[in-house]
Chain A
Amino acid sequence: MPVKGQTASGPLLAVSNLTKLFGSFTACNAINLQIEPGEIHALLGENGAGKSTLVKMLFGVLAPTAGEIAWNGEIVRITSPSDARKLGIGMVFQHFSLFEALTVAENIALSMDRNVSLARVAEEASHLSRVYGLPLDPKAHVADLSVGERQRIEIVRALLQNPQLIILDEPTSVLTPQEADRLFETLFKLKSEGRSVLYISHRLEEVQRLCDRATVLRHGRVTGACDPRAETPASLARMMVGSEVAVVTPEGTNTRGDVQLEARHLSVPARTPFAVSLKNICLKVRAGEVLAIAGVAGNGQSELFDALSGEYPVADDKAIQIRRNPVGSRNINARRLMGAGFVPEERHGHAAVSTLSLSDNLVLARNQSDRRAFLGGGFLKIIRQGAVKAATKRVAEAMDVRKSGEDPPAGSLSGGNLQKFIVGRELDRQPAVLVVNQPTWGVDAGAASRIRQALVDLAKAGSAVLVISQDLDEIFEVATEIAVISEGRLSDPYPARELSREKIGLLMGGMYGKTEGAGAAHAH
């Protein structure tokens, strides 16, 4: 498929002095950026550097405060996503906007600016997915699809507009390594057709593999441009953060204490047709240990988190024990009162309410565990704003949360900064047991190392930490023990030092002889 109307020379997109203010806060400060035809251009920067803000302006989601955008040499004003699509700009957001109950083809048809029959959409979509190696079944229901497949829908949706520039905002943070490899092949194909790609990622290895040039942002300014292949991940990280990224120092010689968190033959039936059932899960986490649970997303991780946190209690009280108390049927606050803390995977609408302020979001998780400090007025339960604000400030300082005001709404924080706040909110309580699901997705190298170090330190100080993650690098950085979850079953734990990546791979795939085929199918 050739690219339409391309001029012979000059950059495809040239951004000059583009600025975005939120109130008095400068998210993007006089940014200059040029994208040549046929290049894969990386946009790097730590959390809150302004990357998403910049690309949202390019796609017409946010209106720039000042500055210009030139497309093929002509100054343009992009006031809406449909303007951007008309010019030839496509975008894949990190958070997908798909209707789960509809089919792939229906979802694609919904986003089109024109009326086309569903059959036609399905045909075009499957044509594109063949050409670009993005296998998709147009008749499948979105709810049945993995994250990687959902992302493919978004990509095909963008490709249907025949764009010259495709913007991807952190596309791989939710993908398995295999899914990411496929995505890279597609991107190379796009490049070979003369299309350009603007690529945002915190994973520096993949930026080196993929990208021809990189622009680095820090605090809303362009602080450098480089050829990523001429750099090392460490030198790239230094450009982004402005200083050396700390290396997480794992346990060493933690003293192991009593079992603090235990699951005994925990079985939970699937709550919805799309959920995974948990099958006879046994685990123990002692004080001083970090147990990491590895596995491909969608194998029961969120169901395990729901059961351990008590958001969905289980019938058998003894199936879950926190500090030797049977708590299976108790709710999340009862478990918090026993000294447990929880960090869910999804930030918006689960761990935090985007429209509420950070201090309100602190009350969200700690309204019972800290009721002595935060609530007054006896049975009236008046929220003590002073105490809550002070604690919010403490958390933000301890975790170095960058925000655009004293107490802004959670939704205005960049993804990584909100994550630091959500983790810090629990660490601030010094919980005896901490259960974390995907602690660092979408978090920059500096912040990720900070969060991981905090988890390691918490265990060192004598807490039991359970980390659910699909990032093997992360797992090897923090874990003292590793177990693998697959199709709702948990393997035995292994000491982290004895386990290689290959062994984990085997456990993920064919742990139980009979489920081998199904396991492979899950890995997409």
Chain B
Amino acid sequence: MRIELEKRPKVSTLFSVLSPFIAFALTIVFGGIMFALLGKNPVTALYSFFVEPLSEVWSLHELAIKAAPLILIGVGLSVCFRSNNWNIGAEGQFIMGAIAGSILPVVFYDWQSPVVLPLMMLFGMIGGALFAAVPAFLKAHMNTNEILTSLMLVYVAQLFLDWLVRGPWRNPQGMNFPETRTFGADAILPEMIASGRTHWGFAFAIVAAVLVWFMMRYTLRGFEITVLGQSARAGRFAGFSSRKMIWFSMLFSGALAGLAGIAEVSGAIQQLRPVISPGYGFTAIIVAFLGRLNPLGIVAAGLVLALTYLGGEAAQLSIGVSERVTRVFQGLLLFFVLSCDTLIHYRIRLVWERFAATKTEEAH
């Protein structure tokens, strides 16, 4: 037996619109089944996972804090993915951005000035972009596969951070904990609203989403990204260069991931530690696809995925399941988003025949 995908004669617009919602509903159904198999009441479990975190002001702030990096990275990735460049290493660029942005508050901790914070953000973007420049260079000039190179560089970044905070950047007054010094007041991204912890990283994310939406919709640059993503040959005919687009899209998404990294460190953690991200760079890939690579859709998708992080923590506290259910939910969601999209364009056909006598031979 084998399974064949057969292109549908017509793609339903209704289902194209509904697809993310169907995927979300299926995730909830299967999540419920999973809780039931774990011996928990699925209704209360799902309630504590998806609803409780939304019921209080402080947890809404947590939601915004978690959504900020997801949106920021996801928006950058949407540009990459639309132009047919597959940057899978945003997690590494996030970390490198955080490290580059932390040079001032960690190494030059004496320097107090209002320009420190803007410089940190700038360094963060440069750090992320430079780290993304490695796979960009390898793809544009050596013809390597950017999926592999960018992914492998994530581990380089993680180990580099680990080495830094245990070695040269370790806080001398920190009782040997693997941490840097905590940032000075001038190096901390302030809160946006008086009612809670949400820092300006969330504003960065919204601004980035709106700007990228504008770029994709109205400008020649957005047009170039779309054309090159659809057909490199037609792009060449239009006078656009795929090679420059590799550079642009990789550096752009790297810079946004780097900004997300330094904003997270400066706004939420306020020092460097061996682990600064619960996988934001990977989760942002789900965010980008759930948001259909549309920057405004990505804002919504970022909030949904942020909820899975909060839900995981909440479920751990209230019903005592492992925090890893977060990953399971994210995996389910990505799986259903992609399969819904596939089934909108194709239908499945099972072929049972095996070594059937050929018709031509019958005829001889």
* Chain A positions near chain B (C-beta within 8 angstroms): 1-2, 4, 60-63, 80, 82, 113-116, 120, 124, 127-128, 160-162, 309, 311, 331-333, 336, 342, 344, 346, 349-353, 355-356, 360, 363-365, 367-368, 375, 377, 380-383
Contact = CB atoms under 8 A, between A and B. Distances in A.
Contacts of B219: 377, 380-383
A9 to B, nearest CB: 22
Given A120-B358, A351-B234, A355-B230, A367 B363 contact: no
Interface string B191-222: 00000000000000000000000000011110
Interface in B308-364: 349, 351, 353-356, 358-364
Contact of B2 (A115, A161, A349, A368): A115
Nearest to B363: A1
Contact of A1 (B234, B353, B355, B360): B360
B220 A80 contact: no
Interface stretch (B20-28, B57-65, B235-243): B235-243
A353 B228 CA distance: 10
A114 B219 CA distance: 49
Contacts of B349: 80, 82
A160 B362 CA distance: 12
A82 B347 CA distance: 13
Given A367-B223, A367-B239, A116 B233 contact: no
A62 B11 CA distance: 11
B231 interface: yes
B309 to A, nearest CB: 35
Contacts of B354: 114-115
Given A367-B223, A367-B239, A383-B219, A350 B233 contact: yes
27 contacts: A1-B360, A62-B9, A63-B10, A80-B6, A80-B349, A114-B356, A162-B360, A311-B237, A332-B236, A342-B237, A344-B237, A346-B233, A350-B231, A350-B237, A351-B234, A353-B227, A353-B230, A355-B230, A356-B230, A360-B223, A363-B220, A364-B234, A364-B238, A367-B220, A381-B221, A383-B218, A383-B220
Given A114-B355, A353-B230, A383-B218, A1 B223 contact: no
A115 B2 CA distance: 9
Interface string B152-163: 000000000000
B279 to A, nearest CB: 33
Nearest to A3: B363
A334 B110 CA distance: 53
B10 to A, nearest CB: 7
A14 B223 CA distance: 47
Interface of B: 2, 6, 9-10, 218-221, 223, 226-227, 230-231, 233-234, 236-239, 349, 351, 353-356, 358-364
Nearest to B362: A4
- Main SS class of interface, A: loop
Given A113-B351, A115-B355, A128-B360, A356 B2 contact: no
A353 B223 contact: no
Given A120-B358, A382-B219, A353 B351 contact: no
Q: Which of B9, B223, B239, B355 has the most CB of A within 10 A?
A: B239
Nearest to A374: B220
Given A311-B236, A353-B227, A63 B9 contact: yes
Given A62-B10, A332-B236, 8 more contacts: A62-B9, A80-B6, A115-B354, A342-B237, A349-B230, A350-B231, A350-B233, A367-B223
Contacts of A336: 239
Contacts of B230: 349, 353, 355-356
A132 B291 CA distance: 53
Contacts of B220: 363, 367, 375, 381-383
A468 to B, nearest CB: 16
Contacts of B362: 4
Contacts of A350: 231, 233-234, 237
Nearest to B232: A349
A154 B328 CA distance: 46
Contact of B223 (A116, A365, A380, A383): A383
Q: Which of A115, A309, A352 has the most CB of B within 10 A?
A: A115
A377 B220 CA distance: 11
Contacts of A381: 219-221
A489 to B, nearest CB: 26
B359 A353 contact: no
Given A364-B227, A367-B239, A352 B234 contact: yes
Contacts of A383: 218-220, 223
B223 to A, nearest CB: 6
Contacts of A363: 220, 223
A368 B360 contact: no
Q: Which 10 A-B pairs have the closest CB atoms?
A: A333-B239, A381-B220, A349-B231, A114-B353, A364-B238, A350-B233, A353-B234, A114-B356, A353-B230, A63-B9
A472 B322 CA distance: 75
Contacts of B351: 113-114
B236 A161 contact: no
A162 B359 contact: yes
A112 to B, nearest CB: 9
B239 A368 contact: yes
A89 to B, nearest CB: 14
Nearest to B221: A381
A344 B227 CA distance: 17
B226 A2 contact: no
A23 B334 CA distance: 33
A311 B233 CA distance: 9
A383 B223 CA distance: 9
Contacts of A1: 360, 363-364
Nearest to A309: B237
B221 to A, nearest CB: 7
Contacts of B223: 360, 363, 367, 383
Given A80-B6, A375-B220, A356 B226 contact: yes
Q: Which of A61, A124, A349, A352 has the most CB of B within 10 A?
A: A349
Contacts of A114: 351, 353-356, 358
A6 B80 CA distance: 56
Contact of A124 (B2, B227, B353, B358): B358
A4 B220 CA distance: 58
B227 A382 contact: no
Contacts of B364: 1
